[in-house]
């Protein structure tokens, strides 16, 4: 899965959106409530290091088994040290999103049709950041 476009995070602007007190049932529906818990600032919940965070759009199908599809908005933090199992953005000729293997020797796809990218001493793979969140549009 490649990265289609990159956008830096803009200066921190607070926009409070309503956050409902009750959770929405994804199984058996419950009674509706009109209680609002307060405001939710998405910057606060999604961005840890604003100076080191950027947005990108995913392109391709190598990460579909983890729910990442073409057009998804990716939130990537360059200030976080990548650990095994993290989803990261790496440069291997192109920008790509993959899971970092626990031995740090492979970049793993989340689609059985793709092979891992081996990382050796001779590899020219650079880590561009750790992907913390993704969002995708469900409407057409």
From first to last of its 140 residues, what are the pLDDT tens digits of the chain? 666 656 666 656 666 656 655 566 676 665 655 565 667 777 888 888 888 888 888 999 999 999 999 989 899 999 999 999 999 998 877 889 999 998 888 999 999 999 998 888 888 888 889 999 998 877 65
Out of 5, 48, 50, 62, the active site residue is 62
Cite the beta strand spans of 35-125 per DSSP E.
36-41, 53-59, 73-77, 87-92, 94-100, 106-108, 117-118
Domain coordinates of the chain in residue numbers? 2-8+48-135, 16-45
Rounded Cα distance, 96 and 139, in Å: 26
Instruction: Determine contact, residues 76/128, Cβ cutoff 8 Å.
Output: yes
Q: Is 62 a catalytic residue?
A: yes
Token pair for 135: 């969002």
Instruction: Determine contact, residues 126/117, Cβ cutoff 8 Å.
Output: no
Instruction: Determine contact, residues 85/100, Cβ cutoff 8 Å.
Output: yes
Out of 5, 50, 98, 139, the active site residue is 98
pTM of the model: 0.74
Q: Is 50 a catalytic residue?
A: no
Rounded Cα distance, 89 and 63, in Å: 12
Could you tell me which CATH number the domain at 2-8+48-135 has?
Answer: 2.10.109.10
Classify burial at 12, counting beta carbons within 10 Å of its beta carbon; exposed 0-12, middle 13-18, buried 19 or more.
exposed
Rounded Cα distance, 90 and 24, in Å: 36
Instruction: Provide CB contacts within 8 A for 57, sequence distance 6+.
Output: 3, 4, 5, 71, 72, 73, 74
């Amino acid at each position: 899965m490649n990265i289609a476009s990159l956008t830096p995070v803009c200066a921190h602007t607070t926009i409070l959106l309503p956050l409902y007190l009750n959770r929405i049932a994804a199984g058996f529906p419950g009674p509706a409530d009109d209680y609002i818990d307060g405001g939710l600032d998405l910057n606060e919940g999604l961005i840890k290091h604003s100076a080191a965070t950027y947005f990108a759009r995913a392109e391709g199908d190598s990460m579909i088994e983890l729910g990442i599809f073409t057009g998804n908005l990716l939130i990537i933090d360059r200030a976080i040290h990548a650990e095994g199992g993290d989803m990261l953005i790496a440069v291997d000729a192109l920008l790509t999103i993959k899971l970092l293997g626990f031995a740090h020797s492979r970049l793993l796809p989340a689609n059985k049709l793709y092979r891992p990218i081996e990382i050796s001493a001779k590899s020219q793979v650079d880590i561009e950041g750790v992907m913390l969140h993704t969002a995708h549009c469900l409407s057409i």
